[in-house]
Chains A and B, each alone.
Chain A
């Protein structure tokens, strides 16, 4: 399912004294099966933009096309449920959305809202809990007894249980330890490759963008200032650093090597790539 933005603008509290425009003429496309990253400063409008992806917000100007549904400012709030099922959003700190008595019921809550019968919903709960790396013994526990990281997994399982075609992740690893962060990002990559889920990732971590995404949109003050594959976008190290957006660690390091006179045809994005390029230069032997 494709999602297309055409000339999308959004204003909070329009025609009031507290009016605030946050999105300006955004054109973007999220293709089916892609892994799109959305980066930008805090306050650049990322979170506002992602709420358009499942019609939680409607554009004040322009159109958003989600699959075959066209959302404009005039779109009625009724009948948006099918969209919400197809586009699952994992909000920042999703553990705040847990409320049921057991993990099982909390995960099954989403599917049940979309009309999945109880038994099937419970089956989905067990299945998705396993996908996020927790075993069955957690099903009957209260979500409030779990650790922060486990709560986050349960919350994510609750979104995955709706079996969305597009998964939108708003800084899914914020506040997790390095191990948990790695596991979670690899889990999303697996979902992307094996289950063919389209992923939209909002993040500050350029390493994650370089490692996983295949297309990047850079947002600044509510406008798209750059887009392309990570390779294209991260070549302009100075431009990105001037905007204080940062580049992947390997790219930043390679850039330092460039100032010391080492030439790269194109800057590497990951440490593995960097290592390979350095070996190819016939420099030091590379022992794993």
Chain B
């Protein structure tokens, strides 16, 4: 167990102490204790920058299940470290923010911080595990802790709905991913991601390549809220705002991006990889931004904007795969796509985190998040307003903020798509920059909406639930830090280039790095008069125009019928599957034993007939049969007649007598076939059971005693005939396919010599195979005890009731 492992598990180890701290030290906000964990971890991981930027990696292994090849291998490279720093850094800020956001007297902070620490540990585990099974374990732990956090205010119905929805969707993806992991392991023979990257050619040749890729991508898309799995994210906004800021903008939703980036070296040679990711990402980018505009809840806008931005990063990661097929070594433009993806990932974490915290402040200080009720807060909350403007403009992609830089790089990557003559990118690929442009226009519009509707315009303070005022300083510090980062990264973007972005990009292109190509990360404002600059100008112009005419075209959102929305389909499918399952169950679980008997009999005969047909066993031979004696015919006729007569008897008493006839005839058959012991036992048992039948008959209620004749049902007749024919065929088949001789010769020879008995049946019962007899005795004992208890309990119950009845009189 190395220090690195302890660091990853530190949040999980700290979590059990939180409830005790919460109870024991009521006067101090529990968050202060929790804050230590991410700060320590951030400092600890910060020291790794030197190692990864030199191109080295750290790998530590702790054996967990070595016989299954599952070991906890902690692996720190550029990509993992970047995420670890995001998780711990933003985690620290979110904890600090939550200290001021959550009231220590009204909220159950013990729960909150346990969930949060669970989540933090799980996220660190996801990004720093080299073993895919361990990563999957942490992956599901993020799903579970996210579920707990979304449902934190569990008394609210919407919270529970959102928690369940996110759980269903992300766990669906997680399970798909597990399937992909298992396929990959079966190809490579190892769960290690590094081994998979090393054996990438082996995976590419496998017939299961596409299946593994799609399953892994399903996991990534559901987690990262890509179309059409994005629907859980807006509903996850019912969580407390620190949770939304942390999980649903900065960290958990990026686990899918991490997975795509991490698995890129394995899959990115394939054109399918590029096409799936780019098309899904680009469409998500458009759909998220398009839907964000119509939201009236600030968190709803931010949720859809997160979806949209995640789509942007996703499509950049997909475009980055083209770098492997691009020959222009000097200026490998598609490597820029990956650089942009990583850069925007950082940028998005900063500005989206600050925006969520800003919304939390507004909500906290005014009592509402509805933009129709808000307005004119600029003068009341100047610091919050500044943070909002910086975050929104960065999201819109305006200079001088960091969003501008990554947006420019994104547009550059999309426009270069034309010049590619592989994977049909030069034909249908033209859609990519077009969609990106439209999406950016919508992004611009909703970014403007966020701060203009909230802070500008007419003040409506009378309608607000609370009298607004500036937030406490502690609440403003975390978003302010993030906003400062937005500006700093905007002006000096290269501060991160060599320390964080370059190592991260290098771990996405291990083959290119190995072939000696250098990753050049150089981010700067002025590219010259490039197409992307004109696109940005076009976005600003069109966006501004549409923003001011927003009331003219908002009507298009009303034309989408509710039934066709994805949420409608999700709800519908839940209801439908529930109903279908119930209907299915109600149809076959009738509660009647006769139905179940029909299933059992039909299945039995079906299986038997099918296997007889399949193995071609209908070759009967009657050569070994002995001749039938004439009296056997007559006795057979008696049995058959009696059996048939039972079916047509008018009442039950004759049926019982006929059953006795059959039993005695069977005893006679035993006599014919030379089995005296069987005949004796059969006679006694038959007599006793007929007497028991009579006993039962006597206790029947009057109505059923007089019942006339069994009702004829065609389906029952068919089933019984089928079963009879099947069993008959089966026994013919078994008789005529005897391959081994009987072992009874041994008994015949040894019955006297070994067991000192002349009656072979009895010697077999008590000597050769006495074990069976023992347990048949047990069966009889159990039956007797069972009957005794049933009668005893019944009698006492009845007499008790009778006594009560008497006392009432």
Do these two chains really belong together in a complex?
A: no
